[in-house]
Structure 1
Amino acid sequence: MAKLSGSTAMNSVLTLEKQLKEKNRYLDLIINECQNKPMVKTSLFLKQRCDSQEQEDDPILALQQQVNSIRNLTIHCPAVQSLEIEIETQDKNGIKKEITPPVLEIGKKRRFWSSTYLRDDYVEQFRRRVAQRTEINMKHLNEAYQVFLRAKNRRIAYEGGIYKALLLEEFMPKSLHAIEEVQISSELIPLTKVQQDRLMELSEGPLEQVIVTKFKLDIHRSEIKILTEGAWLNDVIINFYMNLLAERSEKRPGQVPSVYAMNTFFVPRLLQSGFDGVKRWTRKVDLFSKDIILVPVHHSGVHWCLVVIDLRAKTMLYYNSKGGGNPKVMRALKIYLRMESLDKRQKPLDTNDFRIEHAQNVPQQDNMDDCGVFTCMFAEYLTRDALITFCKDDMNYFRIKMVLEIADGELWK
C-alpha cells in the first residue's frame, strides 16, 4: 500500500479531478452528437469541490471532503482510477497518519475504461449504424409506397366505372336508347357514344385546367363541372355561349339572323352610369345593322333573364323562366337605343312603335338552378328564328349539349 504525504495526496486528487473533467467533456460531446441537444454539466464532484474550497479554511479538512466526494461519486458514476491514498493529518499533539480505503475497486475501474461510449470511434460508429438503419427504413418505405400506388390505381379504376354509370344516369336523359328510338318534338339531337365518352373525359381532371380559350375568355374545368353538376351558371359561361351564338350568325349569313350579344356586365353598368358609362362598348360595331341584340340580365344577382331586341320586328321582349317583367331594365334599354342611334348614326330612333313587354307563354323552371340554362336556350332558339318548343325536362340534356359545344368552341347547328 502506497503511503502519501498531504501534498502528494492533494496532487493525486487534483489529477483525478482533471481526468474526471476530461471524461465529462468527452461524454458531453457524445451526447451532443447523438441527441443534438446541449448537455448541462452537473458534476457532483466539481460542485462539491467548489463548495469545500469556499466553506473550509483548513486545507487538510478540505482534502478530506474531496476524497469523500470522490467516494460518493463512484457509487453512481465510476469515472476515476482506483487508488489507495494515505492522508497525513496534524493536530496539537503532533502528526498522525491516517489511510483512506481504495476509491474504486479494480473491476469497476476496468469496466469503466473499457466502456463502448468512451471509445474514440464511438461517434463514427454510431453515425454508420444510423445511416444503415435509415437506408433500410427508406427501402421498406418505398416498397410500402409502391403497394399503396397499386391499390390506389385499382381503386380509381373501379370507382371510375361507378362514377361514369352514375353520371350518365343522373345527367343524361332517362334512356339514351330511347332518345334514338323516339321522335323528340323539341328537335333535340340524340347524343352519340363518342359524345358520351367526350363528356366523361371533360368531367375528370384538375378544376383549374383550361379546357378552351376563345373570345378572350378561358373556360376551365370548373365551368364544365358547373354545367354537369346542375349548379348556377356564372358570367363566364353565359358570355362564352352568347359569343358562340353571335359567331354562328357570322358564319352563316343569310341562313340565320345577324346577332350581337351584350356582355353580362352591360346592364349593371348602364343602370349605374347611364349611357355615358357604356357608349364606348359598341365603338367597333353598328348595332343597328344587326337583326337581333341579346342582352343578358342578372336580376338582383341571383336570377338570369334575357332581353331580346329584334330590330326587324321592332320588339323588345323580356324572357324570364320564372315569369314577370322588369320595367326598370326595359326603360333603361329603350333610352339606350335612342342615345346610341344619336351617338353613332347622328339620327334619332323612334321607339314609340316598339312592342316592349315581357314574353308570354314561355317555358318555366321548377327549381332554383336552371335559370342560366333557360336564358341560353331562349337565345339559341330565337337567334335561328326557331319556335321555343323545349321544356323544363330538357334542361339536363341542354347542360350536356352546352358542355360539348363550349368545349369544341362551336354550336351544333
Structure 2
Amino acid sequence: MPGALGGRDLWDRKTNFGSLGPGKGSQPVSSLPVVVKHCSACSFLSVGPPVEDPDKAQAKKPKSVELEIRKEVAKGYRDDPLQVPKRFEFIIKNQNPDWEDVDLLLGEMTETRRQLVLNTAQVQGAETSEEGLRQFHQALLALHEQENKPRSSEKGLSPLTEAMEREIAAAFAGGEPNEVISSAFKINITREDICTLRRLCWLNDEVINFYMMLLIERSKKAGYPTLHAFSTFFYRKLVSGGYQAVRRWTRGVDLFKQDLVLVPIHLTDHWTLAAIDMRKKTIKYLDSLGQKGDKICATLFQYLQEESREKRKMELPFSEWTLRSMEPHEIPQQFNNSDCGMFLCKYADYISQDKPLAFTQSHMPYFRRRMVWEILHQELL
C-alpha cells in the first residue's frame, strides 16, 4: 500500500509465458528470466535474450545498427499507442526481428497493453519463433481493435477521445521528472507526480491535494453542495499537535456554513477518507479495504467541537451527531494493493456531487487516465 510520498520498494519475480518462446534450437521463453519491477512512477518489464540460432545470427545486421533502428521505431509507442499494431507490422515485414526486438517493443508499452498482448499471444500459442512473432502481431491487432471499442466498465462515463488519450500518453512519456506540467492552487504537479497515476502505482500527496482543489472549484458552480476539503497533511497535524496545531487552517473558512467537509487521511501505508456532512450532522469513514475508523471519526468530531467553541462560541452537542465507519458492503472496495488513493479520490468526487458511489475496482484504470487529463487541464470532466 502507498506511503505518503508514493514510495515503494522494488521487487522482482519470474513469470512463465509458456508457448510464446522461440522454436527448436533456442531457449524456451518459459525458462527465460522475466523481471518485473514496480515503483511509484512506472512499471517496466524486461525479457532476457534467448540463445540465438547461429545461422540466423550471421544473416542479421550488426547488433549496434539493428538496435538503433528498433529504438527509433519504438519511440513512437509512448507518444501514439494506437499505432502499435501498424508499427509492429512494419518491423515484421521490413526488418528481421527476433525476441530481442520483441523485448524492446514490450519495454515501450504501458503495463496494461503489455500484459493484454502477452496473455493473448500465450493463449493463441506458437511452435516456432516465426510463428510466435505472427501470433504476437495478431495479439497486437486484437488489442488495437479492443481498445477502439467502448469498455463495458466505462459505459455511462465521460468518454476519453483519441486526442485526450494522446495527451495522457505524452504526460507519461519520457521527460525530466521535475518538469512542472500543471500548476494551480499553489501546487506544482511534476511529471514524476503525474506518473503516480500510472496503473498500479501509488498516488502521492500532491496529486490527491490537487484533485481535492479541483473538487472545491467545481463546488462553486450552481447545483453542487458547498464544499471544503482539507489537505492530506491536516489529519496528521491534528493528531500530532492537537487543535492548536491546526487552528489557523480554517482562517477565512467557516466549516459550519459548508454542506460538506472532506478529510483525506493517510495511515502510514494506506489512504482513506472521512466525509463530514453538516446538513445531516454525520461523520462517515470510508475505507476501501473495509477497516474501521471509529477513532478517526471521534477525533474529527472533537476537532469540530473545539472549532465551534473557538470560531462560533457555541457548543456542538454529541447527541445530535452520528459517527460511523461504513461497512465493506456499503461502499466500493479495492481488490489490489495499489488503488486506495484512487478510491479516496473517487469517494470524494461522488460524495461532493451527492451521488451514490456507483463505481467499482474495474473503473480504476479509466479513472486514472481521466485524472491525468483533468489535472493537465485543471478541470473536471
CA contact (8 A) 1:171 1:400 kept: no
**Aligned counterpart in structure 2 of residue 386 of structure 1, from 355, 361, 372:** 355
RMSD: 2.5
Q: Which residue of 1 aligns with 2:75?
A: 160
Q: Which residue of 2 aligns with 1:336?
A: 303
Distance 1:409 1:248 in 2: 11
SS of structure 2 residue aligned to 1:388: coil
| CA-CA distance at 1:192 after TM superposition | 0.8
**Aligned counterpart in structure 2 of residue 234 of structure 1, from 204, 217, 221:** 204
Q: Which residue of 2 aligns with 1:273?
A: 241
Distance 1:175 1:188 in 2: 18
| CA-CA distance at 1:177 after TM superposition | 3.2
Distance 1:179 1:200 in 2: 18
The yes-or-no answer on 1:352 pairing with 2:291 is no
CA contact (8 A) 2:199 2:365 kept: no
**Aligned counterpart in structure 2 of residue 263 of structure 1, from 231, 246, 260:** 231
| CA-CA distance at 1:154 after TM superposition | 4.7
Distance 2:378 2:269 in 1: 27
| CA-CA distance at 1:176 after TM superposition | 3.6
The TM-score with structure 1 as length reference comes to 0.59
Residues 208, 357 of structure 1: CA spacing in aligned structure 2 closer, same or farther, 3 A cutoff?
A: same
Query: Larger radius of gyration, structure 1 or 2?
Result: 1
Q: Which residue of 1 aligns with 2:188?
A: 218
Distance 1:303 1:328 in 2: 16
Distance 1:220 1:245 in 2: 20
Residues 298, 170 of structure 1: CA spacing in aligned structure 2 closer, same or farther, 3 A cutoff?
A: farther
The code of the aligned residue for 2:309 comes to L
Distance 2:309 2:213 in 1: 26
Residues 249, 152 of structure 1: CA spacing in aligned structure 2 closer, same or farther, 3 A cutoff?
A: farther
| CA-CA distance at 1:288 after TM superposition | 0.9
| CA-CA distance at 1:392 after TM superposition | 0.5
**Aligned counterpart in structure 1 of residue 293 of structure 2, from 323, 326, 343:** 326
The yes-or-no answer on 1:408 pairing with 2:377 is yes
Q: Which residue of 2 aligns with 1:209?
A: 179
| CA-CA distance at 1:169 after TM superposition | 2.5
Residues 409, 366 of structure 1: CA spacing in aligned structure 2 closer, same or farther, 3 A cutoff?
A: same
- The higher-RCO structure (CA 8 Å, 6+ apart) is 2
Which stretch has the larger CA shift, 150-159 or 321-330? 150-159
Distance 1:366 1:170 in 2: 21
| CA-CA distance at 1:161 after TM superposition | 3.6
Q: Which residue of 1 aligns with 2:279?
A: 312
**Aligned counterpart in structure 2 of residue 295 of structure 1, from 263, 266, 269:** 263
The TM-score with structure 2 as length reference comes to 0.64
Deviations 1:238-293 (A, max 9, x none): 1111111011101x13x111110011111111111111111111111111111000
The code of the aligned residue for 2:165 comes to Q
Distance 2:184 2:240 in 1: 29
Unpaired segments ≥5 residues, structure 2: 1-63, 85-108, 117-142
CA contact (8 A) 2:281 2:321 kept: yes
CA contact (8 A) 1:171 1:396 kept: no
Q: Whose helix fraction is larger, Structure 1's or Structure 2's? A: 1
CA contact (8 A) 2:225 2:259 kept: yes
Distance 1:151 1:238 in 2: 43
> 5 Å matches for 1:64-79?
none
Distance 2:217 2:240 in 1: 29
| CA-CA distance at 1:152 after TM superposition | 8.2
Q: Which residue of 2 aligns with 1:169?
A: 113
Distance 1:159 1:278 in 2: 51
CA contact (8 A) 1:373 1:399 kept: yes
| CA-CA distance at 1:394 after TM superposition | 0.8
Q: Which residue of 2 aligns with 1:367?
A: 336
Q: Which residue of 1 aligns with 2:219?
A: 249
Percent identity, aligned pairs only, is 36
The code of the aligned residue for 2:233 comes to F
| Corresponding residue pairs, total | 260
